[in-house]
């Protein structure tokens, strides 16, 4: 006598969904909560380190699209001074070849991924915009030393307060539960 | 005497007769209408949040505290949409259908007793009125399917009619069990007779009535008429704007109405200890609705033939046997010992469910339904 045939299957299914009521939701509330991206993300908005750049234009030669425009003149100490360094990120396909080609680690992929602009001209980034700032951090792509310092990727929001999460406010059901899944 | 009649009587000493008769009626109708619309809006929000939690999501939580204004935003969005009538559709019927779906739902609430005396009209044939009125919205759905000039809408309409005809029988037979024990068709009397809720006294009748009404209000797992994955949206595929909103309101209003009817017939209505009666009534209604949402979150949709055979081979014979058992109990067993009846009925319910589930077995790689 198999009890699956007497409505036990339905009861099991109902019990399973009932248990789900007491689990924490796995929803990521995007603009407020953000997950850590991969440490080697080829995010947009390349990062340019002005002090390491020699103006050799290897990156511009490596670019399959020809997006990088670089203009230099010879400085006092027999070096190149970069007058203009512009990347058209609107046409960039984020292959990362410029970063791999740079002999002095002066160029890195960025970690940010929110690149929407209101004007088409705004996606062409100039010398000042390309430098490191709070919102423009270099990723570990082809840069193992940067990668070692970055936080690890996570795929879920952690609801547990001990792990730096926040409490859930839907009838307080999931307060005592652990991580998202 | 209901509260409405008391109001009329009191007003009769002050105002002329015709005004004293009409004004309290209008006030009562407005109160019930406001209750229906507001609770439907709250139910939409509640179902979406609860369904989200069943699926380990959050559900809408952006608009207002805990997303409570989401249904209002949805309503505004729907109202702003363009109203489209199919070029080759039947325009008059297309206009009329949403009204015919929505109005009977409101009419049901005329006989829902919220507490002692808080009922619009205490009809002496209340439950027959409910059965009669609630069938009308099927006509509206059929009209919608016909007037849309769309094959999916027509398929959905035909499915609805078949479903309604099939499930009306076991539902009415289950109601008859309640009526036999009460000895009255009036909703107030039915509630007053339930010192022990009929869900305990007649477990099989309760299960049959619950499943039958879930099928009648066309909700999952019996939502064949708007099966998104098969016939897109069913009968309201060609509807938009306010007319679609009427269908939407009608659907949730149906769920609310049947939750109220289940509460009244089987869960002893407003009766309960400590809390005020109306709070007890609302608690029970919300509990019934939560179970319906729970079923929606769990059970997959039935096939059409499974649906039909579940009504005709499963619920109907069980409902008939249940009616005979209850009739025999009312006839021969003394009313002073309800717990004997409870025990007998539970035994019969379990035996019958086990026997009938033999009919619906899945096995050997072949589906015999």
Burial class (CB in 10 A: 0-12, 13-18, 19+), A128: exposed
- pLDDT at res. A175: 39
CA dist A7 and A28 (Å) reads 36
Compare B361 and A118 and report the one with higher pLDDT: A118
- pLDDT at res. B348: 85
Q: Mutate one of B56, B297, B355, B356 to test the A interface: name it (highest A CB count within 10 A).
A: B56
Q: Residue B8 — pLDDT band, cuts 50, 70, 90?
A: confident
Q: Which residues 153-172 on chain A approach chain B with CB closer than 8 angstroms?
A: 169-170
pLDDT tens sequence across A47-79 = 888 888 888 888 888 989 888 888 988 888 888
- Which residues in chain B have Cβ-Cβ distances shorter than 8 Å to A20? 53-56
Count of other CB atoms within 10 angstroms of residue B350: 13
CB contact under 8 A, A170 and B56: no
Reported pTM? 0.80
pLDDT tens sequence across B294-350 = 988 888 888 787 788 888 888 888 899 989 888 888 887 766 677 777 888 888 888
Cβ neighbours of residue B38 under 8 Å, at least 6 residues apart? none
CA dist A21 and B191 (Å) reads 32
The backbone torsions φ and ψ at residue B333, rounded to the nearest 5 degrees and listed phi first, read -85, 140
The backbone torsions φ and ψ at residue B170, rounded to the nearest 5 degrees and listed phi first, read -60, -35
pLDDT tens sequence across A25-37 = 777 777 777 777 8
Mean pLDDT of B47-58: 85
Q: If you write DSSP's letter for every residue of A21-86 in order, what string do you get?
A: TTSPP----TTT--PPPPTT--EEEEEE-TTT-----HHHHH-SS--EEEEEEE-TTS-EEEEEEE
Give the lowest-confidence range in A53-57, B242-246, B339-343, B355-359: B355-359
- pLDDT at res. A179: 40
pLDDT tens sequence across B147-200 = 888 888 888 888 888 888 888 889 999 998 888 888 888 888 888 888 878 888
Tokens 């939750």 correspond to: B259
Measure Cα distances from B116 to B6, B59, B192 in Å: 13, 37, 9
Count of other CB atoms within 10 angstroms of residue A91: 12
Q: Residue A5 — pLDDT band, cuts 50, 70, 90?
A: low
Q: Residue A162 — pLDDT band, cuts 50, 70, 90?
A: low
- pLDDT at res. B188: 83
- Residue B95, min C-alpha distance to chain A (Å): 40
Find residue A138's DSSP bridge partners.
A110
Q: Which of B276, B269, B120 is nearest to B182 (CA)?
A: B269
- When mean pLDDT is compared over A19-23, A44-48, B317-321, the highest value belongs to B317-321
Q: In chain A, which residues fall in CATH 3.30.70.3270?
A: 43-149
Tokens standing for B317? 């014979």
- Which residues in chain A have Cβ-Cβ distances shorter than 8 Å to B357? 5-7
- Residue B301, min C-alpha distance to chain A (Å): 13
- pLDDT at res. A159: 57
Please give the distance of CA A151 from its chain centroid, rounded to a whole number: 11
Size of interface A-B (CB pairs under 8 A): 49
- Residue B330, min C-alpha distance to chain A (Å): 30
pLDDT tens sequence across A71-104 = 988 888 888 888 888 888 888 888 888 888 888 8
> What is the overall mean pLDDT for chain B?
83
Q: Which of B169, B197, B194, B196 is nearest to B184 (CA)?
A: B194
ipTM: 0.72
Task: Measure CB to CB from residue A13 to each of B61, B298, B361 and give the nearest one.
Answer: B298
Task: Measure CB to CB from residue A20 to each of B55, B358, B363 and give the nearest one.
Answer: B55
Q: Which residues 3-22 on chain A approach chain B with CB closer than 8 angstroms?
A: 5-7, 10, 13-14, 16-18, 20-21
The backbone torsions φ and ψ at residue A81, rounded to the nearest 5 degrees and listed phi first, read -110, 130
CB contact under 8 A, A170 and B58: yes
CB contact under 8 A, B56 and A20: yes
- pLDDT at res. B254: 87
CB contact under 8 A, B363 and A5: yes
Q: Residue A160 — pLDDT band, cuts 50, 70, 90?
A: low
Cβ neighbours of residue B237 under 8 Å, at least 6 residues apart? B148, B150, B152, B153, B156, B231
- pLDDT at res. A165: 54
Q: pLDDT at residue A112 above 50? A: yes
Q: Residue A171 — pLDDT band, cuts 50, 70, 90?
A: very low
CA dist B256 and B260 (Å) reads 6
Element housing B362 (H / E): strand B362-363
Q: Mutate one of B291, B292, B297, B300 to test the A interface: name it (highest A CB count within 10 A).
A: B297
Q: Residue A161 — pLDDT band, cuts 50, 70, 90?
A: low
Domain range A43-149, CATH architecture:
2-Layer Sandwich (3.30)
SS (H, E, C) B55-90: CCCCCCCCCCHHHCCHHHHHHHHHHCCCCCCCCCCC
- Which residues in chain A have Cβ-Cβ distances shorter than 8 Å to B55? 20
Tokens 């897109």 correspond to: B232
CB-based contact B224:B163 (threshold 8 Å)? yes
Measure Cα distances from A176 to A24, A86, B112 in Å: 9, 52, 41
């Amino acid at each position: 006598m198999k009890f699956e045939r007497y409505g036990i299957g339905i009861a099991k299914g109902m019990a399973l969904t009932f248990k789900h009521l007491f689990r924490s939701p796995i929803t990521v509330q995007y603009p407020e909560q953000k997950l850590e991206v991969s440490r080697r993300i080829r995010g947009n908005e390349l990062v340019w380190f002005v002090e390491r750049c020699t103006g050799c234009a290897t990156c511009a030669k490596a670019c399959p699209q020809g997006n990088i425009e670089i203009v230099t003149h010879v400085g006092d100490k027999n070096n190149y001074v970069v007058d203009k360094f512009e990347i058209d990120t609107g046409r960039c396909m984020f292959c990362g070849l410029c970063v791999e080609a740079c002999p002095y680690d002066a160029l890195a992929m960025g970690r940010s991924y929110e690149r929407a602009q209101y004007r088409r001209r705004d996606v062409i980034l100039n010398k000042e915009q390309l430098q490191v700032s709070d919102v423009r951090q270099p990723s570990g792509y082809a840069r193992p030393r940067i990668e070692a310092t970055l936080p690890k990727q996570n795929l879920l929001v952690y609801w547990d307060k001990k792990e730096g999460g926040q409490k859930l406010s839907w009838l307080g059901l999931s307060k005592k539960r652990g991580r998202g899944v | 005497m209901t509260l409405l009649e008391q109001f009329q009587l009191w007003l009769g000493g002050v105002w002329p007769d015709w005004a004293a008769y009409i004004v309290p009626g209008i006030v009562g109708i407005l109160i019930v209408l406001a209750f229906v619309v507001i609770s439907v809006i709250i139910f939409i929000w509640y179902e979406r949040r609860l369904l989200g939690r069943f699926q380990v999501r959050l559900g809408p939580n952006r608009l207002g505290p805990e997303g409570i204004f989401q249904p209002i935003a949805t309503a505004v969005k729907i109202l702003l949409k363009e109203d489209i009538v199919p070029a080759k559709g039947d325009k008059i019927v297309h206009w009329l259908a949403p009204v015919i779906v929505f109005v009977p739902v409101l009419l049901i609430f005329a006989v829902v007793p919220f507490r002692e005396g808080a009922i619009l009209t205490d009809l002496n044939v209340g439950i027959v009125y409910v059965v009669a009125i609630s069938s009308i919205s099927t006509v509206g759905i059929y009209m919608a399917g016909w007037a849309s000039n769309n094959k999916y809408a027509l398929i959905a309409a035909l499915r609805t009619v078949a479903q309604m005809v099939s499930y009306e029988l076991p539902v009415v037979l289950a109601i008859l069990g309640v009526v036999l024990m009460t000895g009255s068709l009036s909703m107030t009397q039915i509630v007053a007779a339930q010192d022990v809720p009929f869900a305990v006294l007649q477990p099989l009748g309760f299960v049959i009535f619950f499943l039958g009404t879930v099928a009648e209000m066309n909700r999952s797992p019996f939502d064949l008429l708007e099966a998104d994955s098969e016939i897109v949206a069913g009968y309201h595929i060609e509807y938009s704007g306010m007319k679609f909103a009427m269908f939407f309101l009608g659907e949730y209003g149906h769920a609310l109405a049947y939750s109220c009817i289940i509460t009244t017939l089987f869960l002893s209505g407003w009766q309960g200890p400590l809390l005020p009666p109306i709070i007890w009534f609302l608690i029970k209604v919300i509990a019934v609705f939560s179970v319906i949402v729970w079923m929606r979150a769990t059970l997959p949709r039935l096939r059409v033939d499974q649906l039909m055979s579940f009504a005709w081979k499963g619920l109907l014979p069980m409902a008939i046997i249940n009616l005979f058992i209850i009739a025999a109990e009312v006839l021969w067993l003394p009313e002073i010992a309800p717990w004997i009846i409870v025990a007998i009925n539970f035994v019969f319910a379990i035996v019958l469910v086990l026997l009938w589930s033999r009919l619906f077995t899945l096995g050997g790689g072949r589906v015999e339904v």
